[in-house]
Amino acid sequence: MSQPTQGIPNIPDLTHPQELIEFGNHILKVSLILIILIGFFGLSIAIISFTLRNQESEANIFINELVSQY
């Protein structure tokens, strides 16, 4: 007996448009959350860099390296 063929797990079937719409909505929500998190991370690095601009310390050097790599 052979097993029935199956598609890729967790990927909706192309013949079910409602599943594709839900899958697309899920991807949009995840990407929006990721964009917001990256934005807040960049903003926090910019704020820390701005506050430490006049002070020259080891933490400032570390933050400057982090900002330049970001």
Q: What is the pTM of this model?
A: 0.54
Distance of alpha carbon 4 from alpha carbon 16, whole angstroms: 19
Q: Which of 29-33, 38-42, 53-57, 65-69 has the lowest mean pLDDT?
A: 53-57
Reduced 3-state DSSP string for 26-37: HHHHHHHHHHHH
Which residues are CB-neighbours of 11 under 8 A, at least 6 positions away? 23
Q: Which of the four pLDDT bands, split at 50, 70 and 90, describes residue 6?
A: low
Of the CA atoms within 13 Å of residue 65, those in its CB half-sphere come to 6
Domain residue spans of the chain: 39-70
pLDDT tens digits for range 7-28: 667 766 667 788 888 888 999 9
Q: Which two tokens stand for residue 13?
A: 């079937």
